[in-house]
Amino acid sequence: MSPSARNFRTRIARQNRYTNPLHTASAERRHTFTSAVLDASGGNLLIARDAGGWASAAMVDEVYGHVDVHDPKFDAALRTVWGEAW
């Protein structure tokens, strides 16, 4: 391979690394994306891990996994613990 072809491939690879939306996305966009994947997959951490390209499902759970405040079970649990008056 000629040096100019090698340089071209290096520049393209570098550009792709910097323009890949998952690597350049803001924290808010990453969170929105991951939350949407978790919602669509029923909370499946492995699907979210694969979709986002993360190394571990544990990291996805720690950073993006949180309760669904719209879940009727969550609402009922809060009302049970805090009482109906809140």
Distances (CA, A) of 12 to 6, 7, 8, 17, 21: 10, 9, 6, 9, 15
Collect all residues with Cβ–Cβ distance below 8 Å to 35 and sequence separation of at least 6.
Answer: 64
Q: In the predicted model, what is the mean pLDDT of residues 22-43?
A: 80
Q: What residue has token string 């072809």?
A: 5
- pTM for the full model? 0.53
pLDDT band at 22 (very low <50, low <70, confident <90, very high): low
Instruction: Name the CA dihedral angle for 47, 56, 67, 52, rounded to a multiple of 10 degrees.
Output: -50
Q: In the predicted model, what is the mean pLDDT of residues 8-21?
A: 54
43-75 confidence digits (pLDDT tens):
899 999 999 888 899 988 888 877 777 788 888
